[in-house]
Amino acid sequence: MLKRVLVGLIRSHEHTSDKAKDPKLKSHYYRLTRDRAWEEVTSILKKMQGYRVLHEVPTVGEIVMEKKTISGRTMDITIQIVSESPGSTAIDIYSASRGSLGDLGANYRIIQEIYSILDRKLASYKS
């Protein structure tokens, strides 16, 4: 946790990928087709408290959201839904803070919160 805050002093973004060194920032996989994952994930995201879906691009599997923090900063979040194989989908998240200062680990926490909700709601499909 302290490491995240220290990194967050200078960095104002965070993202997930297959190659992430931090296991909590690895892509999440679900046994769903991309179309089915799109339906499920967009439905879940639209119901999340404190988040606002700004833009959806189903053809590329991208959802753009924003979250306003208690301190008044705005976080821009992009969720990417990618078909890995027939019946398997990966979800990656990119979160960035507007402004020039670091985020004190807020983007990392946002990614964890979104993954936690998706994993709970899509538990029966988790790979």
The percent of residues in the chain predicted with pLDDT above 90, rounded, is 70
Given this model, what pLDDT does residue 53 score?
97
Q: Copy the structure tokens of residue 22.
A: 């931090």
* Total domains in the fold of the chain: 1
Given this model, what pLDDT does residue 9 score?
56
| Domain extent for 20 | 2-125
d(CA 95, CA 13): 6
Does position 3 have pLDDT exceeding 80, yes or no? no
Q: Convert 30-53 to b/e letters by CB count within 10 Å (16 or more is b).
A: bebebeebbebbbeebeeeeebeb
What is the per-residue pLDDT across 75-118, written as a single tens digit (0 to 9) for each?
999 999 999 999 999 999 999 998 767 777 788 999 999 999 99
d(CA 118, CA 127): 13
The percent of residues in the chain predicted with pLDDT above 70, rounded, is 90
The domain spanning residue 65 has which CATH number?
3.30.530.50
